[in-house]
Structure formats: structure tokens, C-alpha cells
Amino acid sequence: MDTIKLERIQLYGRHGVFAEENRLGQRFYVSLELKLDLSKAGETDDLEHTVNYAEVYGLAKDVVEGETFKLIEALAETLASRILDAYAKIHEVTVRVIKPHPPFDIVFDGVTVELTRRRKAAS
């Protein structure tokens, strides 16, 4: 499989266990790896044979900025599910969500959740 990567999309969301996080919000970084066959797109130079990554970005933005989750695990799971539902060409998606400033006393680059989901085979 070939890969399209959207690296470190910066979005503003209201995700977290604490009410202040839901009220104030904070920056999140989202990276997406989309696994699909890009051979036809490469041969034809035709957008119809690939996935429009501007649309994928829009979907991610809508989820991260338009919904609220307690856990970034749930945010990542929702992103993966919505992407697979929206784009039949994508066989597998890896979603990485970084919360750079979790609300506890620690100095680090943030906490990251990464998950990979595959399209289920038709039965």
C-alpha cells in the first residue's frame, strides 16, 4: 500500500477530563497516515484516483474543533472511523493525536495517542 501523510495538523479543541479543558480548550496536533493504492493516480494525474487531502483535513478539523471528548483516545478513534467511513479508497488509517499541554505539573512535549484501524473485509 502507498501512503498519504498529513503531518502535525494544528487544531484547537476542547477535549479533556476536566471542565476547564472543555471550557477553555487548547491546541492539539493531529497526524494522519492514509494507506491506499496510489498507482492509478500516479499514472493518470487525476484526482478521482486518490483521496483529496484537503477534504480529509476538513473532516479532521470538523471533528477536533466541533466535538468534545474526555479522552484523546476517543478523539483518535472517532477520526479513524469517520475517515474510513468517508473514503472507500482508504484501506488503513493511522491517527496520531498529541496533547502538548495536559493539565498536570510536568515539563515534556506532550502526551500522544496513536492508533491504526483497517477497513473490515466484506463478509
> For residue 50, what is the domain's CATH number?
3.30.1130.10
Residue 93 lies in a domain: yes
Alpha-carbon span 114 to 95, nearest angstrom: 6
Q: Locate the DSSP E strands across the chain.
A: 2-13, 26-36, 92-99, 111-118
4-60 residue pLDDT tens: 999 999 999 999 999 999 999 999 999 999 999 999 999 999 999 999 999 999 999
Structural domain count, the chain: 1
CA-wise closest residue to 119 among 96, 86, 90, 94: 90
101-112 residue pLDDT tens: 888 777 778 889
- Higher pLDDT pick, 102 / 82: 82
Q: Residue 123's pLDDT is what?
A: 56
Annotated active-site residue 99? The verdict is yes
Residue 123 lies in a domain: no
Q: Residue 102's pLDDT is what?
A: 83
Task: Catalytic residue, from 40, 89, 99, 120: name it.
Answer: 99
Residue 65 lies in a domain: yes
pTM of the shown model: 0.92
Q: Which domain, by its residues, includes 50? A: 2-118
